[in-house]
Structure 1
Amino acid sequence: MSKKSDLLEQEIEELASNYDSLPSNLPDWLLELGVHPSSDILKSQRIGSKDKNNKTDVLIELNNSINIKISVKLNNADYFGNWYGHIRFLKEFGLPAFNRLTKDVTKWANWWLTTKNSPFVGVSICFGKRSGNTAKRFLDIFSIEDIFSVVKGFDDDNKDSTANCLYINSTPPKTLEELIENLQPITQESIRQAVGEFQIAYRPINPMTEGTNRGKNVYTRFMPFKKMDIPTTVTTIEELSKLGKFETVEPNRLNHNHILDDLQKNYNIIIPRKPRKS
């Protein structure tokens, strides 16, 4: 999470904590959710960072009312679902969707291998805003319902971890009335306004320039044609493309470091890694 996003959530939490009750006038869509006007505010707290599966960032607990569960996004935030690992993916979308995705990512990676880009041994994914050659239309792999799973969460709507509204703004509200006025329902239209057409971001990781991202799960992996006779250092995508191709993976939490270790130990292929910060 960026410092700006963290600060925005904190300011919304603190703002709501300064009020004893909701305004008497609420938007119709909040009323339809079951939020009652003038409800007493019991507590305002940030819960997004407590669990990576939480889609609610700020929870406003109300007396005798449905709680307000806010997913907070900066205006320029690109992703609703950042860095999806295998376990999380299977919980939300299931194995058939995983199999469809790994096939498509593998096809894409073998094409990307022919371009003049940086070397990579795996591809990780995010969901949200993306353009250019690393964007894949979300609905080519998933369903409309899956978009809502990414944005509001896949648990029961009654759970606090499942968001029921959006705050998309880089400026914190000054009053509770302003906060309520700027909340949006989670609909196809509000998502489209936030990120345009929902996309899958294919994210090849360059081991030589990226550190912590090498620990992200991959949806395809580089597989050599054969073991090299002697230890061979590879630093360009042109060199890599001559030695193998990308293949589909199983949902076994494989990450970029695992692949790099395997290439070095079992295939005599060494791709330098960015050193870890001490």
Structure 2
Amino acid sequence: MRILPVFRGALLCFYVSLVFGAAFCYADDSTVEVVGIGECADCAQSNMKTVHAFSGLKVTIDCKPENGEFKTRGVGELDEEGKFKVSLPNDVVKDGKLKEECYAQLHSASAAPCPAHNGLESSKIVFKSKTDEKHTFGLAGQLKFSPVTCTSAFLWPHPPITKPLPLPTWKLPPFKDFHHPYLFPPKVFPPLPPKVFPPIHKKPLPPHVPIYKPKPKPKPPIFKPPPVPIYKPKPKPPIFKPLPPPIPIYKPLPPPVPIYKPLPPIPKIPPFHKKPCPPLPKLPPYPKLPPKYFHHPKFGKWLPLPPHSPIH
């Protein structure tokens, strides 16, 4: 049987399409998901509903390969209960484990990253379970945040309300005065009398029902067992060692007593008589000097002093 070239080409195309279809059927259809829960730290204190705090918040899964920088692998949103689910690519998982260190990062409604409330370890991605080619990962803790630092869509500032345009003012033309008096004078009504409301009598409240609290039951006495005596062994008698003989103390001998011999007698020297000196000669009389006066260079000559008179 001979096959025509046209049918041969069609058969070849059919085989190629069949091979591609089988390859797609046996492809890796495993899915990788990260699930977690967000928690508002101070919503109860600020009297704010958690539904409003979770609105518009997003979660990104950032992974860091070895010797590399962080890359965003998936993005998800928080629902009304604070739960989120993020899908990751299949090449991140190998043998049921993550090939990279991944962390969950919370973002506000304006896409600004929110600070981690419990540190970086609570937002680390860890393995949870594996069922039917589905790898499920979760967080080591909960994503805690504060609505003050992580603004939701409910607290996002709204655009300012613009004032409406002013309406055009229409001026009526002036009416002519025909100088006619009014037909009827204006009526003056007397003031209305003040309203008198009947007094409201409140019914007295019934007396409070006394609440009798039962007396506390006496606690049963607790009898502690007597302490177990502790028998200590008797001490051994002391062993007295013989004292060593005393060390002799050798005192130095006293110095010998000196022997004093009497000195020889001192010889007496005879007295020496000196001749008297001759008398001194009398000096000649000293001549009297005339008084000398020194004149002052500025005030001129001074008067001569009176002669010296001895004091009697």
| Length-normalised TM-score, structure 1 | 0.18
| Length-normalised TM-score, structure 2 | 0.17
- Structure with the greater relative contact order (CA < 8 A, sep ≥ 6): 1 or 2? 1
Bigger helix fraction: 1
